[in-house]
């Protein structure tokens, strides 16, 4: 029997067999609990007797003292019948709850927490609550929940919770266009729900009597949702078209929700929830489809954006590579001047050239740092540095421009500052250089003052002293409007363009400086009076390495320059023997030349197999190993060395030499078992520093003394970090490491045809990506060989250049045969390695046209192996193979003639 808030007594022939008393515990805030089924057991012993039911109603309704429904039969059969009668409710609630749980599981388990993917969270929440509500108000709820009062409360709470995640889901799929209004509506609905609960708790009204508040919340949600779609339709037809599935689903829900409200208000509750369930099921399916489709679109957009970012990174890396090549040549030649010059004025001029080279490198750094800052990949590399040298170098970068504009440079350095600090010297130089450069650019007359001091110090837990370094740059320039001060650290922002239109700049300097300072946990502030000048102040926490004070800044700089002006090898090791492994004979010769002053015994090997033979027959103190070699690369060779059953092979340190200097490669090589990593082009001073750290200490002579001849407890210069420093590349190597995309790792596939032709004129100027039809050769505007460039790669020493030219000419026949053999055999892996080697060697000699052609073939070979447009790649190789070989022959002949003329 279904009890509708009634007490029921059952008798057989006047004898009471069952009594159901509507207990007070079944009231909800003195209101009535839901109707429920009462099971009265009737045995076979009552056959033929009279069964009477007495009903006492506890509230006055249309059903007073009437029995709504009665079934007679086996108990389980009756329950099965009731479940079947409510099958629509049960299946619908099961589908909704399963869908809600699945979406939430998907969100919390597999997806990252992006803003768009929060749509899955909101959608899963409201679907789950609706499924629970539908189950709680079915006619058979008591078969699933023991506590009928709890079920009744859950029914109302679910209805209270549905509108908010529904609106948030809608807002998410509308890309947050009306986010503020959505939040306000959600707060209103939650406030109404809270009022409903408070009134029920105070027993001012029952939840059932306050059901109209929930209806009001649903009406508000429906009206607000349609309002947002109407606004989108008016403002952006294209966006509305993309959301049409969501709009139709919302309309479907709104229609059925209105049907539900009308039915309950004017007809009755017999089919309560049917209409709303149909609407919610259709709406949920539509929203899930729209969300999945939009999520897929966003993933595709994200992948496309990442591809664009990779393209930008590749372009920046390639541009960095192309710019650094001539800069490295200039700096390399300048280093040779510093090594060999005995004239004090020339030495000082060379030091200024080196500082100007650093300025040019800092411009490249700005471009690269802009990309790194956007991707959050800017990192710090802390090391010991000389503060006075840093200040002097930064001033030298702007001194020439300041002299041109007749500006006075004033430097105020506190004599009490420690001279040796620990931090990222390169980044500090970059930040200070940006501030000083801006001061010069925006100052027409007067002076620029650089003040460096400390605003305090602290002792860390490990006993290290930390100072708070203050660097202030004050100018007498045009100043900045007060309203513009808040925006000067924004990327690409430039102000007062009418006054500054002739001033060069990208607007990146201050933005990058702010990011550098923030990364160091410092502060950057600006103070300015328009028309009078500006002051930029940087405060950086820096650890103190030495108690030594700067003292008189001018005297210290003169001392620093005297130390710098003569090159001396960092060490000598006449009893040490090392092995250099490289398939490029010119590279072998260059390493030998760079290390000849160390007096080490240097053996060379041109392949991995030859290397293994040598390490089996002789013990080495260290091995320098090239990465990319045919047959067996450097990594494979190292593994074979370690597998040899000789103690010397198991312990010898092996250093990898590679042009593949992108981010993460050092860690990869160290993980493979290499002792250290040296990027190409090789910085001789950095290489010496690595050798000092890895060679047996007993073999080293530093400053003319062996380690055991030094005073007890004293550190070597290398161990103390005071290796004589003559290479500018060493200072920028760490910062450019992750961006120096070698052509092995990042082919120039993102350059436009125009850029490609401009930087690589000649037969290879049109890459195979651009070529679709046979073309006539264009006149060569650039000479076949740039011998002056080749000289710079050989430290400007003609004897070394003649030697490598001779090697290049003598190896022509064998190298050409290797390329042709790999081509005829279709061994594209070997082919790519060989043209890669030709690309590098020809460029080192000054053969830029041959290098460019070989580079295109190398790129095509890599594309073919990677299955990236293989037919197009192969067509390029086939159509340009002979052309490249012909250019190779012409280049060799030009080198032969030059070599013979220099004899």
> What pLDDT, in 10s, does the model give residues 88-117?
878 888 888 888 888 888 777 765 555 556
> Which pLDDT does position 855 carry in this prediction?
84
The kind and range of the H/E element at 535 are: strand 533-544
Q: In sequence order, what are the beta bridge partners of 855?
A: none
**What's the CA gap between 747 and 861, in Å, rounded?**
11
> Which pLDDT does position 468 carry in this prediction?
93
pLDDT(900) > 60: yes
Tell me whether strands 465-475 and 447-459 are parallel, antiparallel or unpaired. antiparallel
pLDDT of 863-872, one tens digit each? 888 888 888 8
Query: What pTM did the predictor assign?
Result: 0.37
pLDDT of 820-862, one tens digit each? 998 988 888 888 888 888 887 787 788 888 888 888 898 888 8
CA count, 13 A, side-chain hemisphere, 170: 32
Among 77, 81, 171, 84, residue whose Cα is nearest residue 119: 171
The kind and range of the H/E element at 354 are: helix 344-375
Among 21, 96, 77, residue whose Cα is nearest residue 54: 21
pLDDT(513) > 80: yes
pLDDT of 795-824, one tens digit each? 566 777 777 788 888 888 888 998 999 898
Alpha-carbon distances, residue 92 vs 129, 145, 273, 275, 771 (angstroms)? 13, 18, 11, 12, 61
CB 79 within 8 A of CB 143: yes
Angle at 902 between CA 899 and CA 903, to 5 degrees: 90
- DSSP track, 650-710: HH--EEEEES---TTHHHHHHHHT-SEEEESSPPHHHHHHHHHHHS-GGG-BBTTB-GGGS
The count of residues in the chain is 903
DSSP designation for 784: S
pLDDT of 736-747, one tens digit each? 333 333 333 333
| Two structure tokens written together for 244 | 């049409």
Among 300, 292, 184, 178, residue whose Cα is nearest residue 246: 292
Among 481, 511, 521, residue whose Cα is nearest residue 497: 481
Among 642, 613, 607, 643, residue whose Cα is nearest residue 625: 607
**For residue 595, how far is the Cα from the chain centroid?**
39
Strands across the sheet containing 577-581:
601-605, 577-581, 622-626, 654-658, 676-679
**What's the CA gap between 659 and 678, in Å, rounded?**
9
Confidence tier at 70 by pLDDT (50, 70, 90):
confident
CA count, 13 A, side-chain hemisphere, 234: 6
> Which pLDDT does position 764 carry in this prediction?
36
| Two structure tokens written together for 570 | 């960092």
Tokens 């929440």 identify what position?
A: 125
> Which pLDDT does position 350 carry in this prediction?
83
Angle at 670 between CA 667 and CA 676, to 5 degrees: 110
pLDDT(715) > 70: no
> Which pLDDT does position 620 carry in this prediction?
94
pLDDT of 314-350, one tens digit each? 666 566 656 666 776 677 677 778 777 778 778 878 8
> Which pLDDT does position 610 carry in this prediction?
92
Per the model's pLDDT, the better-predicted residue between 250 and 880 turns out to be 880
Average pLDDT over the chain reads 77
pLDDT of 591-617, one tens digit each? 887 788 889 999 999 899 999 999 998
| Two structure tokens written together for 612 | 């293994």
**What's the CA gap between 452 and 474, in Å, rounded?**
11
Tokens 């496309």 identify what position?
A: 304
Mean of pLDDT values over 670-691:
83
pLDDT of 235-247, one tens digit each? 877 777 777 777 8
Mean of pLDDT values over 61-72:
69
| Two structure tokens written together for 395 | 């001033």
Alpha-carbon distances, residue 647 vs 300, 618, 644 (angstroms)? 54, 12, 8
pLDDT of 647-669, one tens digit each? 888 889 999 987 655 556 778 88
> Which pLDDT does position 467 carry in this prediction?
92
> Which pLDDT does position 374 carry in this prediction?
55
Give the whole-number percent of the chain exceeding pLDDT 90: 12
User: What phi and psi, each to the nearest 5 degrees, are found at residue 207?
Assistant: -60, -35
CA count, 13 A, side-chain hemisphere, 558: 5
Q: Is 51 helix (H, G, I), strand (E, B) or coil?
A: strand
pLDDT(495) > 60: no
**What's the CA gap between 772 and 762, in Å, rounded?**
17
CB 658 within 8 A of CB 628: yes
> Which pLDDT does position 752 carry in this prediction?
35
**What's the CA gap between 700 and 707, in Å, rounded?**
7
**What's the CA gap between 896 and 10, in Å, rounded?**
121
**What's the CA gap between 877 and 885, in Å, rounded?**
12
CB 320 within 8 A of CB 751: no
CB 888 within 8 A of CB 837: no
pLDDT(388) > 70: yes
Q: Is 755 helix (H, G, I), strand (E, B) or coil?
A: helix
**β strands within 272-402, DSSP E:** 383-386
DSSP designation for 33: P
b/e code 96-131 from CB counts within 10 Å (16+ = b) = bbebbeebbeebeeeeeeeebbbbbbbbbbbbbbbb
Mean of pLDDT values over 561-576:
70
> Which pLDDT does position 202 carry in this prediction?
84
User: Which positions ≥6 away from 485 have C-beta within 8 Å?
Assistant: 526, 528
**What's the CA gap between 884 and 877, in Å, rounded?**
10
The kind and range of the H/E element at 123 are: helix 118-136
> Which pLDDT does position 116 carry in this prediction?
55
> Which pLDDT does position 543 carry in this prediction?
92
The kind and range of the H/E element at 409 are: strand 408-413
CB 560 within 8 A of CB 388: yes
Q: Is 182 helix (H, G, I), strand (E, B) or coil?
A: helix
């Amino acid at each position: 029997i279904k009890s509708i808030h009634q007490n029921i007594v059952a008798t057989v022939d006047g004898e009471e067999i069952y009594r159901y008393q509507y207990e007070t515990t079944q009231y909800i805030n003195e209101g009535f609990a839901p109707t429920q089924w009462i099971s009265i057991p009737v045995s076979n012993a009552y056959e033929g007797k009279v069964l009477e039911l007495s009903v006492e109603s506890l509230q006055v309704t249309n059903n007073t003292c009437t029995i709504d429904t009665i079934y007679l039969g086996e108990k389980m059969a009756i329950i099965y019948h009731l479940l079947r009668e409510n099958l629509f409710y049960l299946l619908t609630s099961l589908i909704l709850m399963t869908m809600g749980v699945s979406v939430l599981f998907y969100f919390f388990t597999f997806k990252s927490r992006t803003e768009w993917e929060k749509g899955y969270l909101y959608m899963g929440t409201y679907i789950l609550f609706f499924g629970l509500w539908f189950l709680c108000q079915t006619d058979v709820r008591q078969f699933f929940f023991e506590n009928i009062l709890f079920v009744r409360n859950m029914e109302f709470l679910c209805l209270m919770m549905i509108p908010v995640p529904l609106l948030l889901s809608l807002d998410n799929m509308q890309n947050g266009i009306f986010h503020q209004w959505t939040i306000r509506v959600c707060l209103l609905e939650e406030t109404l729900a809270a009022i409903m609960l408070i009134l029920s708790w105070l027993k001012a009204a029952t939840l059932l009597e306050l059901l109209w508040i929930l209806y009001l919340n649903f009406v508000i949600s429906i009206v607000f949702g349609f309002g947002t779609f109407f606004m989108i339709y008016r403002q952006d037809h294209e966006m509305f078209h993309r959301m049409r599935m969501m709009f139709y689903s919302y309309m479907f829900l709104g229609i059925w929700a209105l049907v539900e409200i009308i039915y309950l208000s004017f007809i009755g509750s017999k089919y309560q929830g049917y209409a709303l369930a149909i609407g919610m099921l259709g709406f949920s399916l539509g929203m899930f489809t729209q969300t999945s489709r939009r999520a897929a679109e966003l993933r595709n957009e994200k992948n496309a954006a990442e591809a664009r970012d990779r393209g930008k990174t590749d372009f920046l890396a390639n541009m960095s590579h192309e710019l650094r090549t001539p800069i490295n040549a200039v700096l390399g030649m300048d280093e040779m001047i510093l090594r060999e010059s005995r004239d004090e004025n020339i030495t000082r001029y060379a030091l200024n050239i080196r500082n100007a080279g650093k300025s040019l490198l800092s411009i490249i750094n700005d471009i690269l740092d802009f990309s790194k800052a956007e991707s959050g990949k800017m990192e710090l590399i802390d090391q010991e540095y000389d503060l006075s040298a840093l200040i002097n170098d930064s001033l030298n970068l702007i001194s020439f421009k300041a002299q041109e504009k007749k500006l006075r440079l004033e430097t105020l350095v506190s004599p009490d500052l420690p001279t040796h600090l620990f931090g990222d010297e390169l980044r500090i130089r970059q930040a200070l250089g940006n501030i000083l450069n801006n001061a010069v650019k925006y100052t027409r007359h007067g002076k620029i003052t650089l003040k460096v001091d400390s605003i305090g110090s602290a002792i860390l837990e490990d006993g290290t002293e930390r100072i708070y370094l203050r660097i202030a740059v004050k100018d007498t320039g045009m100043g900045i409007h007060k309203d513009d001060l808040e925006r000067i650290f924004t990327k690409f922002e430039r102000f007062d363009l009418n006054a500054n239109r002739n001033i060069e700049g990208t607007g990146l300097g201050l933005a990058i400086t702010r990011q550098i300072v923030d990364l160091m946990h410092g502060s950057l502030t600006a103070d300015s009076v328009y028309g009078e000048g500006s002051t930029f102040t940087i405060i950086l926490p820096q650890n103190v390495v030495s108690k030594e004070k700067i003292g008189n800044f001018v005297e210290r700089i003169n001392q620093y320059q005297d130390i710098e002006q003569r090159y001396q090898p960092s060490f000598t090791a006449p009893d040490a023997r090392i092995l250099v492994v490289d398939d490029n004979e010119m590279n072998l010769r260059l390493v030998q030349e760079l290390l000849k002053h160390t007096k080490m015994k240097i053996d060379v090997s041109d392949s991995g197999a030859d290397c293994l033979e040598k390490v089996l027959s002789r013990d080495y103190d260290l091995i320098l190993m090239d990465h990319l070699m045919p047959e067996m690369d450097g990594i494979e060779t190292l593994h074979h060395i370690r597998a040899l059953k000789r103690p010397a092979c198991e312990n010898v340190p092996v250093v990898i030499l590679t042009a593949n200097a992108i981010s993460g490669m050092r860690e990869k090589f160290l993980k493979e078992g290499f002792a250290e990593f040296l990027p190409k082009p090789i910085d001789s001073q950095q290489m010496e520093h690595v050798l000092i750290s890895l060679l047996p200490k007993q073999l080293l002579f530093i400053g003319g003394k062996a380690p055991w001849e030094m005073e007890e407890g004293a550190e070597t210069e290398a161990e103390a970090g005071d290796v004589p420093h003559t290479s500018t590349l060493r200072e920028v190597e760490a910062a450019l490491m992750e961006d120096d995309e070698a052509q092995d790792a990042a082919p120039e596939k993102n350059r436009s045809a125009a850029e490609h032709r401009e930087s690589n004129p000649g037969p290879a100027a049109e890459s195979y990506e651009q070529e679709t039809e046979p073309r006539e050769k264009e006149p060569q505007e650039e000479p076949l060989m740039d011998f002056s460039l080749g000289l710079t790669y050989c430290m400007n020493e003609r004897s070394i250049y003649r030697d490598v030219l001779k090697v290049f000419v003598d190896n022509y026949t064998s190298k050409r045969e290797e390329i042709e053999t790999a081509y005829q055999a279709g061994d594209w892996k070997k082919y790519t390695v060989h043209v890669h080697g030709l690309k590098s060697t020809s460029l080192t000699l000054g053969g830029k046209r041959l290098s460019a052609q070989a580079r295109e073939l190398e790129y095509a070979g890599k594309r073919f192996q990677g299955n990236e447009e293989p037919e197009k790649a192969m067509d390029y190789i086939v159509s340009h193979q002979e052309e490249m070989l012909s250019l190779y022959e012409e280049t060799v002949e030009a080198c032969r003639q030059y070599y013979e003329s220099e004899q």
